[in-house]
Structure 1
Amino acid sequence: MAVLLLLTLNACVAAAPFEGVGRSAPPGAPAGTCWDSVIIPARIETVTEQVLVSPEVTSPDGTVLAPATFSSHSRQQITRPREETYFETPCPEVMTPEYIASLQRALAARDLYSGLITATLNAETRAAIRSYQAGFGIDSATLSLRAARSLGLSAVDLPGST
């Protein structure tokens, strides 16, 4: 009976508000930092070219006896390679419900978030994060450390301080 009760209670527990935040760091990143990445997929286009199969045949007086013939050849061409850009994020232990509520209030103060202060990273909060970070060139719904600092949510490293 106790096992059944425990299993039932575990099924009712909500996911952590910071689930999915703070993936492994890129090579050379300082220990103890958390990172995420933005992947821009490669752009592949189909290029079709007309290739001369046989040139036109003309008579000595310039009359065309047989027109030139062409063949269409299509191929795939990468016009933009895949890019992966890493950005530092607040680590999961920082992303407490209180921190997320402060994030929602900071985004609301900038007219980017109009939902309830739920202290969860819901879809509306993530959309507001993406919108705010666009100004930093980060197209992601994961909060970057740069955005968190500019919102006044995370400490800023000052030059000469350690």
Structure 2
Amino acid sequence: MNKKSRPSFRSPASFVTFRLAKLQASLNAQATGLLKAKAGISLVEWRLIQTLRMQETASMTELAGLVQMDKGQFSRKIKAMVEKGLLRTATDKKDQRVQHLKLTAAAEQLSENMMPTMETRQDLLLAEISEADLATFYSVVDKLEKASKVRDIP
């Protein structure tokens, strides 16, 4: 699409960022409701558990980089998850400043119990989207992510 055929940016709904933020808020509210009602955890806790499931173990720095969270919020959430019995921490043997995180059996069980619900949710979200549309969506998101890294905007 060339610049001349693009829509005019006269209303918030014509901005990609507005539409994405609105969609993200709606999706987050839906997921948060499911997770609170069925597992008693937050969406951030779910995301951290799933990210750690894929990593098995990770340092706090590695996990923070993967989930792209504010450091203060991340640190508070990790502390709360340790207190809830969802995470274990261990100090690195070579570098005492490094903390390694590992899921507890309770977190693993919680993940296993919630996965069917979250997979059903994913199926619901994608029910009316073709494989071709989904591939296009992922391609567009990749391009938007790349463009979002540009800092020299005249």
Q: TM-score range by the shorter chain?
A: under 0.3
- TM-score, reference length from structure 1: 0.18
Please identify which structure carries the higher helix content: 2
Which structure is richer in relative contact order (CA contacts within 8 A, separation 6 or more)?
A: 1
Report which of the two has the higher share of strand: 1
